[in-house]
Amino acid sequence: MWFMLACASAFSFGLRGILYQWSSKQPLNRNLMLLGVYASGTIITLIGALLQREAWSDGVWIGALMGLFSFISNAAMYKGYAIGKASLIAMFTGLPPVVVVLLAFTVWGERLSYGQLLAFVVIMTGLMLVRYSGDLSLRNLQGAQWGVLTMLFFGLTDFFTKQATLLHAPIFPTLVLMYGTGGLFFGATWLLDLRKAEAAKNNLRLARQESAAAVESQPVRPESAAAVSFSSTSDAGNPTGQEDRQSVSGAVTSPQPEHSRTAGADKESGVLEEALAVKLPRPWTNRRTVLWGMTVGITNASGMMLAMPAFKLGVTGLVSAVVAANVVLVMLYARFVLRESFKRLEAIGMMIGFAGIVLLKLLS
């Protein structure tokens, strides 16, 4: 039973990954979308808790830790993608089951049989080949620290999911606290983003005002004053003063600088017009972003509601490995919908991953 629940959970998380991939290409605020994801999870699980009339025992507070670790792992993952090698971070996101196996053995003494260990190694080998990129090297480890944090806290999320089941914590109240805690953190992060953006706008406005004030208060240039003085002296020595005035007037009101300034202004105007001509996608409104996040949250909540009973019934490390295989569904989507070509190692890794899951089913 646990195997079927874990596979169903992997399918739900795979759909979530596909929706995340599509969302990453849209002009929306990531933290606000994730706030919608966690708000949706909170609402769905709260309705489930009310319908099931589950007791809110002390064990449900494990859900708050799960929400905190889920927030940290997601934040570390996105930070790693922002500053580091995407292939390196992707590799670390496939390693949490290893952390789970080690923690389960250390804390609970949970062991794998030889057959289960073989299936686990096969599945993890397939996942690593899917996520491996040939540009990885020991000299190219930008963002590795964020990748390690991602691996650890995703692993801790799975570990404490199992811990909640060992404490006989009811599923829905535990998930309410998980999603509520994660939603609070993502909401706070979004508000901080708003404050930073507002501060940046204020600084830009002040800089423009100071620049305009500096231009207005700029004194007359000395060479202009000298030219005017020379013109007056020439008129005194030459009653007609026509030639001198013409020459001095030419020096003072020479068309060349004005032409140069005009040409520069025209050039800047042309660059601005070209920039405005580029049609950038209009950013999503806050309401649309939150609603889309709540839609994506349905798949996320479904995955967790299936994962918790799977952890309760099955071996922790094996459940974590099967759930982590959701990346295979995302890869199939990329191949057949986005028409992305597979590298040879990715195709081999997918076949090995499938083989490991089948082997695990046969040995269970």
More confident residue, 247 or 358: 358
Q: Give the confidence band of 76 by pLDDT, cuts at 50, 70, 90.
A: confident
266, pLDDT greater than 90? no
Quote the CA–CA distance of 44 and 12 in Å, as a whole number. 15
Q: Are 359 and 119 in contact (CB under 8 A)?
A: yes
pLDDT value of residue 134: 58
261, pLDDT greater than 60? no
Cα angle at 317 between 311 and 322, to 5 degrees?
Answer: 75
Quote the CA–CA distance of 308 and 321 in Å, as a whole number. 14
Q: How much is the CA Rg of the chain, to the nearest whole Å?
A: 32
pLDDT value of residue 219: 63
- Got the DSSP string for 193-219? HHHHHHHHHHHHHHHHHHHHHHHHTPP
Helices then strands (H, E): number in the chain? Answer: 15, 0
Q: What is the mean pLDDT of residues 45-67?
A: 93
pLDDT value of residue 147: 81
pTM: 0.76
Closest-CA residue to 91 (of 57, 115, 127, 118): 127
pLDDT value of residue 252: 43
* Average pLDDT of the chain, as a whole number: 81
Closest-CA residue to 45 (of 171, 176, 174): 176
